[in-house]
Amino acid sequence: DIQMTQSPSTLSASVGDRVTITCRASQSISTWLAWYQQRPGKAPKLLIYKASSLESGVPSRFSGSGSGTEFTLTISSLQPDDFATYYCQQYNSYSLTFGGGTKVEIK
Amino acid sequence: QVQLQESGPGLVKPSETLSLTCTVSGGPINSYYWSWIRQPPGKGLEWIGNIFYSGSTNYNPSLKSRVTMSVDTSKNQFSLKLSSVTAADAAVYYCARAQNGLWLNYWGQGTLVTVSA
C-alpha cells in the first residue's frame, strides 16, 4: 500500500502569509494527487487534482505542484477563510489513500 | 448541482452490521464512480471503497473482508455495509463522487455513526 506523509501536522500563520504544505508518497504516484480543505464540522472540499489542476471555483491563491513522490500545496496569501485542515490524497491502482492532514491555525 | 445525502442508523451495536445509503440528486448516478470515506472523531480521513455505476467495486485492503458496496441506479442510490463493527468503526461516514475513480469532487454532508451496546 502507498503511504502518504504530510508535513507539518500543524502550521501557525497570519493573514497575508504565504503557506506551503508538503505531502510525500512512499512510492512514485506520477501526478495522481489531490488536495482537499476541510473546515470544522464540514465535508472536505476538493481544491487541486492531478497535482496542479485547480478545481473550478477555487480561488487562484491556491496552487499545487510536484510529481513522483513529493508534492506541495501553496496558499499565496492566506485569507481568514483558509484557516482549516488540509489533506492530500493519492490515487493508484484503483486505491485511494489520504495523508494525515495539516491544520492551519491563526498565529 | 450534484448533491449527495447519507442516511442510515446513527447507532449500531458491536458485532452488528452498519448499513448506510447515499442518495444522489441533481445528476445521474450512471457513468460515475462513487465512494465511501470515513473520519473518526478528531482524526483523519480513511477511504473505504469505490463502486462504479455498473456495480464493480474496489475496497480498502484493510477493510475488504468486512465491506460490501452496492448500487441501485433506478433509485440513484448507492450503499455501504460494514460487518462485525467495533468501537473503532465509530466515525463520520461520507459518501462522495469519485471523478474517474480518482479524486472526490462532490461530497455528502456526512453522517455520524456511533458503535455502542
For A3-48, the pLDDT digits (tens) are 999 999 999 999 999 999 999 999 999 999 999 999 999 999 999 9
Cβ pair B98, B32 in contact under 8 A = yes
User: Given an 8 Å threshold on Cβ–Cβ distance, is A36 in contact with B46?
Assistant: no
pLDDT of residue B15: 97
Residues 6+ apart with CB under 8 A from B43: none
pLDDT of residue A63: 98
pLDDT per position as a tens digit, B12-34:
999 999 999 999 999 999 999 99
Cβ pair B67, B80 in contact under 8 A = yes
Q: Which residues of chain B have pLDDT under 50?
A: none
In B, minimum Cα distance to A32 occurs at B102
Cα–Cα distances (Å) from A19 to A89, B13, B36, B70, in that order, read 19, 44, 30, 41
Q: Please list every residue in chain A whose beta carbon sits closer than 8 Å to the beta carbon of residue B51.
A: none
Half-sphere exposure of B109 (CA within 13 A, CB side): 4
In B, minimum Cα distance to A46 occurs at B105
pLDDT of residue B117: 95
Distance (Å) from the alpha carbon of B61 to chain A's nearest alpha carbon = 9
In B, minimum Cα distance to A100 occurs at B44
Look at the block and give the residue holding cell 480561488: A59
pLDDT of residue A42: 97
State how far the Cα of B79 lies from the Cα of B55, in Å rounded to an integer. 11
For strands A19-25 and A33-38, give the pairing. Answer: unpaired
